[in-house]
Structure 1
Amino acid sequence: MTAPTALIADDEPHLALHLKQQLLQLWPELNILSLARNGIEAAERIAELRPDLAFLDIQMPGLSGLEVAQGIEGLTRVIFVTAYDEYAVEAFDQAALDYLLKPVKAERLARSLERIKAAMASPLQAGSEAPDAKLAGVLRQLQSAPAGRPAVAPLRYVRAAQGELMHQIPVEEVLYFQADDKYTVVQTATAEHLIRTPIIELAEQLDPQQFWQVHRSTLINLNHLAGTRRDEASRLFVRFKNHARELPVSRAYVHLFKAM
């Protein structure tokens, strides 16, 4: 039987190393493939190494642990390492996902590993969407405003500089927002602009009934959606009106399009 594999992602190296040592003491057979120092590195190594497990710190530079989890295409199971309050912890419990509160205690880690081993005894099937749908629901809960925060009107315009000009773009005209290195691409039917607002911040400001996150790096405007397409590998892509480019849908969000 192949030894289980794992990745640990934390921007504090001493905490990542401590968790690795705890894991190897409690589960000697576990093969720790990599210690990632930020979210971008974690996403790249998960895509490359396809570990069975990913222990993701939620607050990391580059991409948060939530964003990394949203972009996982394979069957890697996620365990969040978090300093979130009881509101978020309750969200994890309700969705039956596991989490570890910092500082990680050996007794809690041992219980977590028991749950993980039990889950791994019933392997996920390729193409299975139920765990991903559950993960997506938890991620939306964690990224929504905490209880008690006053409601804010959805964003109506974004401003993008181009040389000496400043463009004010109605969000109704935006086909999609997509992360691109240090910038976010704002794509309309007629032009492409760049802004510095991260995707995770835009997701909090836009109307969730109009804009859906379909990938860790992509928000789409449903009002401009022309349809979807599946390729030979059964991967889902979205198409837009009056725009030739198609965008991939991460497995965590495929369930959103079942009714379409």
Structure 2
Amino acid sequence: MIRALIVDDERMARAELRRLLQAHADVEIVGEAANAEEGLKCFAQTEPDLVFIDIQMPGMSGLALAAQLEGRVQIIFCTAYDSYAIDAFGLNAVDYLVKPVVAERLARSLERVAPKRAGDTPRLPYDHGLLLKFGEVSRIVRLHEVDRFESVGNHAAVYTPHGKAYILSSLTRIEQRLEPAYFFRANRSVILRLDAVRSIEPDVGTGFIATLVDGSKVEVSRRQAQLLRSRMGCLD
């Protein structure tokens, strides 16, 4: 049984989500809150396994609430594609639901909820969605669409077929959430998606160069290059 808490300032949105969750016998709604402050109190009283959080709320935002709950519970964000920078890898986000929430997407999100109580850092599924902003357009991009993550200060650049976006997360934190079967740490600053690597060639003085499907090139240390070649079946 998944014990769920709903935090949303819109009464109708809470009612609709509650209605949709009635179709899931393994979900018990243990509380509702109309803002983040109420959500914190309700969380302490009910100790849920999962919290549905509206991103944009008056007062404390849903992101600020999620930050306070970090590592203590799994979270599904509800969003209307607002332009927030989300630490998707640090806030234990299971998924993002775009309002109005539809039954099929809710069901897929619930399938991602780990059966055990949160508190660890589970790996994200290959089709996990990231809420990214490209200029004035926000969209949800799946991990299998990401070519690489690159460290930029306390942010990370995310390279996708839609362009480059930024998330507020360290590369180490990102690596902890990614499945090693699909992603690879090329050097201190870059994580590659294995399926995005087209070729690996020696490069004088720098070790190796990985060429990606979009034509971009990434330096790979000699030690990591041998491991990468092995992972890709390029054994000598």
Q: Normalised by the size of structure 2, how large is the TM-score? A: 0.47
Q: Normalised by the size of structure 1, how large is the TM-score? A: 0.43
Larger strand proportion of the pair: 2
Larger helix proportion of the pair: 1
